[in-house]
Amino acid sequence: MVALVGYTNVGKSSLLNALCGEQIFEADMLFATLDPTARKLVLPSGLQIILVDTVGFLSAGCRTIWSRRSNPTLEEAAFADVIIKVADAGDAQAAEQLAVTDEVLGSLDCESIPQLVVYNKCDMANAVAFDPDILLTSAKTGCGLPELLAKAGRCLAGPPRAHDRAGAAL
Ligand SMILES: Nc1nc2c(ncn2[C@@H]2O[C@H](COP(=O)(O)OP(=O)(O)OP(=O)(O)O)[C@@H](O)[C@H]2O)c(=O)[nH]1
Ligand SMILES: [Mg+2]
């Protein structure tokens, strides 16, 4: 199981749509996704995965804010074998978005789960220049998506994580 996690409006649902050929709701608004969505996806290696789109959040002052209509547990992330942390390449606050994402994941005891970082929306005119090691994607143009799948596949090369019934990794 691979989970897309990050700030609201960074393009998590759009990435799932682009990768899986789906049409789940995506929109230029805060808190577009109110429920997680899971879809099957076959990696180029033939490995079949479940890709999970999660609800977004944002930070205001020292508080993390979720939509009042969503279930802000992000428990799908705790079940994941790989977490893809998504930031917005067109947003000057991308590094801060990732820091808040790390805090949220830390509060869910997800530190031991392999994590990838993706700067999405790299097609945007204001996309900032990043370290060449950072994975850039565009759900709109498809740029970087094969590389994202290849990286996720490499992270999944080991045996799947086992979970107890409450979701804790064993
Ligand atoms: N230019 C550009 N726009 C994108 C890209 N990915 C997503 N968008 C747009 O960004 C907006 C937000 O996309 P979503 O996929 O709904 O974002 P999200 O992260 O799922 O947001 P929440 O569900 O609120 O957490 C939409 O208007 C998308 O069309 C991209 O790679 N490039
Ligand atoms: Mg969404």
The full DSSP string for 86-114 is EEETT-TTHHHHHHHHHHHHHHTT-TTS-
- The preferred substitution site among 20, 22, 26 for testing ligand 1, maximizing ligand atoms within 8 Å of CB, is 26
Residues 6+ apart with CB under 8 A from 68: none
Output the CA torsion sign for 106, 64, 123, 50: positive
What are the CA-CA distances from residue 88 to residues 58, 106, 122, 127 (Å)? 13, 21, 8, 8
Q: In this structure, what are the phi and psi dihedrals at residue 139, rounded to the nearest 5 degrees?
A: -70, -20
**pLDDT tens digit string along 100-117?**
999 999 988 888 899 999
pLDDT tens-digit series, residues 11-61: 999 999 999 999 999 999 999 999 999 999 999 889 999 999 999 999 988
Residues 71-92 have pLDDT tens digits of: 666 888 999 999 999 999 999 9
Q: What is the pTM of this model?
A: 0.93
Ligand 1 — pocket residues by CB below 6 A? 8-14, 26-28, 30-33, 56, 120-121, 123-124, 138-140
